[in-house]
Amino acid sequence: MIQKNYQFHYSLTGTLDKPLIILLHGFMGNINEFDETITLLGEYFSYLTLDLPGHGKTQILGTDEYYKIEPTAEAIINLLDELKIAKCFLVGYSMGGRLALYLTLHFPERFHKVVLESASPGLPTAAERLERIKLDTQIARKLTRIFEKSDFAAFLSNWYNQPIFGYITNHPEYDRMVESRLQNNPQELDKSLRFMGTGCQPSLWEKLQCNTIPMLLLVGEYDKKFISINTGIAKICEFAQIKIISNTGHNIHFENTLAFVENIKSFCPQ
């Protein structure tokens, strides 16, 4: 789908006479991130998946500013308009969860309910955002220097050994997930991290108290950082409920797809 500054690579599965769910992948994911989720959810819903800027086959036709969360959110709303989707359910994981929360708070009329998996409203202070930008810039520089698949694989190994991911490297399908991540272009991921990273994202904390869209906050038992963040969200936003998924870290839909799907089914009417 070509818009003024975006050429989205997307997939629309099912028919629009069924409730539609948009699923937004995380950093280094792609359009296939939720394939197993969609298979288990079955034919009760229709599904819209897409490669976010800097990922997969989606292309930015404008300047690097269009990797940012604000214009990306507007472009997704424009895509919904072009597809004649007036209202739908929204699911977002990590980076896609931050984008999903931005969409919820700025375009609430477009969504019935929202599921946020390991998501964040951003950082509340300018000092915290500046510090995070410095950190993300350091990581982005490593991505710009990757030209060999072996170097990219080493980067991914370091990435998934972060504490928030718990024991994901022990998962029997871990190598398959890494192979999927390797399909991305590191130089494009660099732009995503620098322009849509947590440090660049406008803080959404103050807008949470105004939200009236039901939100389900899913966090993994081993992801202590995001348990704390989402507990804070639930305290501020009366329409948000938090659920901790046992034996998982940051990437719940990969580590325990069945629990992820069951929570979507119970939260989103079919």
Domain residue ranges of the chain, discontinuous segments joined by +: 6-124+202-267
Which residues, other chains included, contact 154 with Cβ-Cβ below 8 Å and sequence gap of 6+? none
What's the sign of the alpha-carbon dihedral 20, 24, 29, 31?
positive
Q: What is the structure's pLDDT at 147?
A: 84
266: amino acid identity, one letter = S
Beta strands in the chain (DSSP E): 6-7, 10-13, 20-24, 46-50, 59-60, 88-93, 111-117, 215-220, 240-245
Confidence class for position 1, pLDDT limits 50, 70, 90 = low
What confidence tens digit (pLDDT) does each residue in 185-224 have?
999 999 999 999 999 999 999 999 999 999 999 999 999 9
Q: What is the structure's pLDDT at 2?
A: 53
Q: What is the structure's pLDDT at 270?
A: 67
Confidence class for position 16, pLDDT limits 50, 70, 90 = confident
3-class state of residue 238 by DSSP: coil
CA angle 98, 104, 108 (to 5 degrees): 170
Fold of 6-124+202-267: Rossmann fold (3.40.50)
- 261 CB-side CA count, 13 A: 17
Confidence class for position 7, pLDDT limits 50, 70, 90 = very high
pTM exceeds 0.85, yes or no: yes
The answer, yes or no, to whether residue 237 has pLDDT greater than 80, is: yes
Q: What is the DSSP letter of 67?
A: G
